[in-house]
Structure 1
Amino acid sequence: MSSLGNFVKRLRDIMRNDAGINGDAQRIEQIAWLLFLKVYDTKEEDWEFDDDAYESIIPEDCRWRNWAVDDGKGTALTGDDLLDFVNNTLFPTLKGIQVSKTTPINKAIVKTTFEDTNNYMKDGVLLRQVVNVIDELDLTNYEESHAFGDIYESILKELQSAGSAGEFYTPRAVTDFMAQMIKPVIGEKMADFACGTGGFIISWLKALESQKKTVEDRAAFDTSVYGIEKKQFPYMLCVTNLLLHDIDTPRVYHDNSLLKDVLDYTEDDQFDVVLMNPPYGGSEKTEVKNHFPSDLASSETADLFMSVIMYRLKQNGRAAVILPDGFLFGTDNAKVAIKKKLMSEFNLHTVIRMPHSVFAPYTSITTNILFFDRTGSTKETWFYRLDMPDGYKNFSKTKPMKLEHFAPAVEWWSDRQEITIDGFDKAKKYTVEELAERSYNIDLCGFPHEEEEILPPRELIQQYQEKRASLNADIDRILEQITGILGISDMEDLT
């Protein structure tokens, strides 16, 4: 292919003429399922080469090589014939594939990838053009395949401006930093229980790459990752991402991590490392909260994922988790219970306060990275504020956060010192007793007010609601202390 960098633009230009495609989100989903089939067919060529007895789970007429490849002889399906095949043969066949518990992962992923996938295009001639562009990719060529990994990354970045799909993409600089600081070791198992497009998994593999020395190391590397993703589209992107990175048996499952009783988890369900950015801002139904102990049963999605992480982290395991400011300052009953459990059973050693707009344009809510391990209870916690780099007022699509922007935090990490700038704490250590005295409001070393950004109305309302819940919890706690001191057993005694 002459210009990989032009790949997405070419596809976009074709699809803009199709009446069935409505906006970037549908364009990207259309590209994604076609790419999956192209990548999967390339992987099947490898598996067939390695194993003469290999049999595809996809029926012959539905394999990419037998319907998508245009040999230039004028026999390739196009127009209404192609549309009819895709809508009435390909999709029903792939959705109807029978799998069982014994079906190998690399085969079962075909069915789960297509369960809720759609063909949006209505013009069969344009669809043929799109298929041809994708088929030009030579994924058997190492250099081109490696270069396409970067193109695929650019497709994932497009999710940030493709409506609600943006929630699935964590900037690569952030996932790389977290994987780097967690220090992967060959043989460890890493998990992400809301893995989206697989950013944390890829960063983990990248950080682990240099440790592959032997055949045994390669086997351990290939089986070192585990992911769960609730939504169909990011799940499909994640599986394709892993296949592109030569993980032949992606242990990624289309499921909901919040729909299992956390008390039922055993050591077999636990992992050495957890890296993730839990969904936040969502509110879960009562039936979801029923899977958690009553004191931990928050209605906030990120809180529930924190509980899942704590129950699924191995003894001596390590975790790095992104959480919004609301988790830090929240003092409602559930958040306090979660933070108490975190600090009494885990060692919360570091909190990195990230600058605003890291996740722009999807959200402007300020986020934080919590680093903790299961080596004992927390004795002290360091807080470090990562300021906006020089020359940046905001991060944006054209000026995204880069790994180098974490350099001050990396330098500070290995030689921790308390830092105060213009009267504001930038880095400071607190004992667990000091944090408990604050009712576990750990909103510390935050950003000076002049750096705060005006949030969009929906996010502003959400933040005010979180602060109100936290304030109400503080008031209730203080009233309880006062009535206890006065010996008043019932609030009615005050009237």
Structure 2
Amino acid sequence: MANSSFVKRIQNVMRNDSGVNGDAQRIEQIVWILFLKIYDAKEEMWEFHEESYQSIIPEGLKWRDWAVDEKDGEALTGDSLLDFVNNTLFPTLKNLEIDDTTPIRQVVVRYAFEDANNYQKDGVLLRQVVNIIDEIDFTEYKERHEFGNIYESFLKDLQSAGNAGEFYTPRAVTDFMVKVVKPVLGDRIGDFACGTGGFLTSALNELERQVGNSLENREVYNQSIYGIEKKALPHLLCVTNMLIHDIDDPNILHGNALETDYKELRKMDPFDVILMNPPYGGSEKESVKVNFPTELRSSETADLFMNVIMYRLKKEGRAAVILPDGFLFGTDNGKFNIKKKLMSEFNLHTVVRMPHSVFAPYTSIRTNILFFDNTKPTKETWFYRVDMPEGYKNFSKTRPMKLEHFNAALNWWDNREDIEVDGFPKSKRYSIEEIMERSYNIDLCGFPHEEEVILDPMDLIQEYQEKRATLNAEIDHVLEQITSMLGGN
């Protein structure tokens, strides 16, 4: 039976294994074992309902064949378990034969193990971990859904697990974005850098309430989400997350959405809803940048993802995207043209400024949520600042941002008005003409009185680089105007 001590029990076992170092490895070790347990439970249901179902996992390698301990002394353990896992299980699952006719629900097994690793070196301790995970009955709907909360808790641990923190967006933020975008059953929902699946999970929780007892609705629910994730660990975490949420065919690809040429992006199926927190602070190589038109190229990963989103948002579709402050104030050539395209072809109706440390301790860089739809060009944009809650100086692992901290924003959303605090705008509407006059610098309704935040050195370097690029772009723009006025070339 799943309970709150589940992760702690496994953690205590793994602490004694010299092969597992740190939270990220611990989570990766748990999740490949967990994936096989959940997948086996799903296969039992598919076998029951589909007479012709054939598993992609060979006999002898299914969870029920090797992992279940009948307490009769026959279960693999020690060196024999390690030998089986390292030399039979992993090599076979990494090299499963798949082609264009292989169902998605079977393809995910190969994807899940492509870059997975068994870190444990003690076969007796590995057997103990397997036995703890085997206690959960994933064929029971109630127990499976109870386990979803436990799974979320160790995904949250990623936020403090070094660079792995980039793959986790706080649940309060994903839930707020979903509440505002309002996905409905039948919408096709996408996230092209889906990490561990936080946005997709929040959207599925909203859709679940709309399913009812209809088998037809359940099938629509099962086909509603799509994700791409570049890195192996979050991809495996996301696929497992989708299986826990009863997505039998988790359409979660292991790849890089930026490696598709924009001409091909235009031909791909568009999405009704796009929810994303693109990676930012990264720098893409030339072979990735050339996939986009010259005027829309940028070294900043988040900028390029904005191009992907614009190409793949369906007419009348809506999007909510988290971006760093650098995107707002940046007026270098790439950012300028991306924002110009966004506002001339899409309706950027709202920008929500979030307080610092929302993503702490992974990063202290300030972030914002851009809400837009593919209905018409932007005529005006509302800006709203979410201030730090009373009594908080920073968010932290023990005091994270909560959905209730967005209550004022949710109340404002349907009853918009200008708001001033101490003479500074907290909420204000700007026309497209005002934004164009600012060269698409949309750093508006910021945080005037807040104490200076001490950033991590790498975050500080990135912020300085973005500000320097913006200043250089503004100087070039002024020089062009002066040269033009003087009749020069």
Q: 1:125, 1:28 → 2: CA distance?
A: 19
Alpha-carbon offset, residue 141 of structure 1? 2.7
Cα deviation, 1:250-273, whole Å, max 9, x if unaligned, reads 111111100011122345421111
Match of 2:153 in 1: 154
Match of 2:22 in 1: 23
Q: 2:30, 2:311 → 1: CA distance?
A: 37
Alpha-carbon offset, residue 185 of structure 1? 1.7
Q: 1:327, 1:19 → 2: CA distance?
A: 43
Q: 1:373, 1:282 → 2: CA distance?
A: 26
Match of 2:95 in 1: 96
Q: Aligned AA for 1:397?
A: K
Match of 1:191 in 2: 190
What is the SS of the residue equivalent to 2:370?
A: strand
Superposed, 1:389-404 pairs within 5 Å as 389-404=389-404
More divergent stretch after superposition (56-65 vs 266-275):
266-275
Q: 1:266, 1:277 → 2: CA distance?
A: 21
Q: Is the 8 A contact 2:353 2:386 kept in 1?
A: yes
Q: Aligned AA for 1:442?
A: I
Cα deviation, 1:202-250, whole Å, max 9, x if unaligned, reads 1111112222243322221111111111111101000000000111001
Q: Aligned AA for 1:460?
A: L
Superposed, 1:365-376 pairs within 5 Å as 365-376=365-376
Q: 1:449, 1:437 → 2: CA distance?
A: 26
What is the SS of the residue equivalent to 1:4?
A: coil
Cα deviation, 1:392-445, whole Å, max 9, x if unaligned, reads 111111111111111000000001000010111100000001000001110000
Moved over 6 A (4+): none
Match of 1:107 in 2: 106
Q: Is the 8 A contact 1:138 1:144 kept in 2?
A: yes
More divergent stretch after superposition (259-268 vs 66-75):
259-268
Q: Aligned AA for 1:219?
A: E
Cα deviation, 1:321-379, whole Å, max 9, x if unaligned, reads 00000000000011000000000000000000011111011010010000000111000
Q: Aligned AA for 2:101?
A: T
Q: 2:267, 2:345 → 1: CA distance?
A: 16
Match of 1:50 in 2: 49
Q: 2:162, 2:405 → 1: CA distance?
A: 27
Match of 2:289 in 1: 289
Change (3 A) 1:288 1:267: closer
What is the SS of the residue equivalent to 2:226?
A: strand
Q: 1:481, 1:268 → 2: CA distance?
A: 40
Q: Does 1:425 align with 2:421?
A: no
Give the total of aligned pairs. 488
What is the SS of the residue equivalent to 1:327?
A: helix
More divergent stretch after superposition (164-173 vs 46-55):
46-55
Match of 1:86 in 2: 85
Match of 1:492 in 2: none
Kindly, what percent of the aligned residue pairs are identical?
68
Q: Does 1:225 align with 2:225?
A: yes
Match of 1:240 in 2: 240
Cα deviation, 1:55-99, whole Å, max 9, x if unaligned, reads 111011110111110000000000000000000000011011100
Q: Aligned AA for 1:189?
A: R
Q: 2:148, 2:474 → 1: CA distance?
A: 49
Match of 1:493 in 2: none
Q: Aligned AA for 2:27?
A: I
Match of 2:439 in 1: 439
Q: Aligned AA for 1:176?
A: D
More divergent stretch after superposition (21-30 vs 467-476):
21-30
Q: 2:162, 2:373 → 1: CA distance?
A: 35
Q: Does 1:14 align with 2:16?
A: no
Alpha-carbon offset, residue 52 of structure 1? 2.2
Q: Is the 8 A contact 1:267 1:314 kept in 2?
A: no
TM-score (norm 2): 0.98
Unaligned runs of 5+ in 2: none
More divergent stretch after superposition (319-328 vs 131-140):
131-140
Q: 2:461, 2:5 → 1: CA distance?
A: 41
Q: Does 1:142 align with 2:145?
A: no
More divergent stretch after superposition (144-153 vs 328-337):
144-153
Cα deviation, 1:36-63, whole Å, max 9, x if unaligned, reads 0011011111111111221111011110
What is the SS of the residue equivalent to 2:5?
A: helix
What is the SS of the residue equivalent to 1:60?
A: coil
Match of 1:321 in 2: 321
Unaligned runs of 5+ in 1: 490-495
Match of 2:410 in 1: 410
Match of 1:468 in 2: 468
Q: Aligned AA for 2:164?
A: A
Q: 1:217, 1:32 → 2: CA distance?
A: 29
Q: 2:247, 2:452 → 1: CA distance?
A: 42
Q: Is the 8 A contact 2:265 2:308 kept in 1?
A: no
Q: Does 1:211 align with 2:237?
A: no
Q: Aligned AA for 1:478?
A: V
Alpha-carbon offset, residue 487 of structure 1? 2.1
What is the SS of the residue equivalent to 1:191?
A: strand
Match of 1:124 in 2: 123
What is the SS of the residue equivalent to 2:4?
A: helix
Q: Aligned AA for 2:483?
A: T
What is the SS of the residue equivalent to 1:61?
A: coil
Q: Aligned AA for 2:438?
A: R
Q: Aligned AA for 1:144?
A: E
Superposed, 1:246-325 pairs within 5 Å as 246-266=246-266, 268-325=268-325
Q: Aligned AA for 1:78?
A: T
